[in-house]
A = this chain, B = another copy of it.
Amino acid sequence: MTILMDYREAMNRQLVTALRSHPRVELETATLKTGDFLIDNILLIERKTFTDFVLSIKDGRLFRQAVRLANAKKVATMILEGTSGDIKAIGMKREALQGALICLSLKFNLPVLRSMSPKETAWLIVAAAGQCTSTRRTEKHPFPRPAPAKRTNIHQQQLFILQGFPGIGPKRAKLLLKTFGSLKAIFSADPSEFKKVGGIGNVTAEKIWEVIHSQRGG
């Protein structure tokens, strides 16, 4: 079994030692674009300590990573490492933790395994790899992935585009889309119709209309 390990993880002595101690494991260091471990090009694993976990929630990194893991054409999982003492020390509310786990598991189809120590993390990696590879030998895909809950949200993209207009931030973008229903309706509206939307005045309405209708060279 060949484990490609991201170079960052290579600095974790305990984990590396534990992995090397497995006779069937061949460990290589590489630069992985997504995830921390790639086993036999089948199984993709992201390892996070609780501290990492909390930080990556705060800066929104967690969910971007989750999307990418789910989109990779691999079996993907996250291993969350730490004890209940760690959670308390960080000061994370249990509800917040559970909420994040629900989101990862159900919205992103990314299962989360729990580990108490680097040593157990190593064990989990090997065990998971063993189950995935053996699965592959017997049947190709025993159970098709449940409906891809992933699928980038069109609504989100529409809001994103609206925010490109001058004077339009998240709040007004949401109001506009709610009022008009679709981007097409917004792009076909008159300045006077914009002003009916709360928070948009004369100046902003005119600017938006101008950007939409301005022709090349005019």
Contact = CB atoms under 8 A, between A and B. Distances in A.
Interface of A: 43, 60, 67, 70-71, 73-77, 95, 98-99, 101-103, 105-109, 111-114, 120, 123-124, 127-128, 131-132, 135, 138-139, 141-147, 149, 151-161, 163-166, 169-170, 173-174, 177-178, 181-184, 187-188, 210-216
A119 B56 CA distance: 28
Contact of A123 (B67, B95, B109): B95
A58 to B, nearest CB: 14
B160 A143 contact: yes
6 contacts: A75-B106, A75-B146, A106-B111, A157-B164, A158-B211, A158-B214
A109 B142 CA distance: 10
Nearest to A170: B142
A181 B213 CA distance: 9
A77 B164 CA distance: 30
A184 B161 contact: no
Please give me the 9 A-B residue pairs with the lowest Cβ-Cβ distance, nearest first: A105-B111, A161-B164, A145-B163, A187-B187, A142-B170, A142-B159, A111-B111, A70-B143, A182-B215
Contacts of A60: 143
Contacts of A103: 131
Contacts of A132: 106-107
A108 B188 CA distance: 34
Contacts of A215: 181-182
Contacts of A73: 147
A70 B203 CA distance: 21
Given A158-B214, A161-B164, A124 B152 contact: no
Given A99-B127, A142-B174, A182 B106 contact: no
A174 B98 contact: no
B161 A165 contact: yes
B146 A76 contact: yes
A138 B158 contact: no
B163 A135 contact: no
A138 B126 CA distance: 36
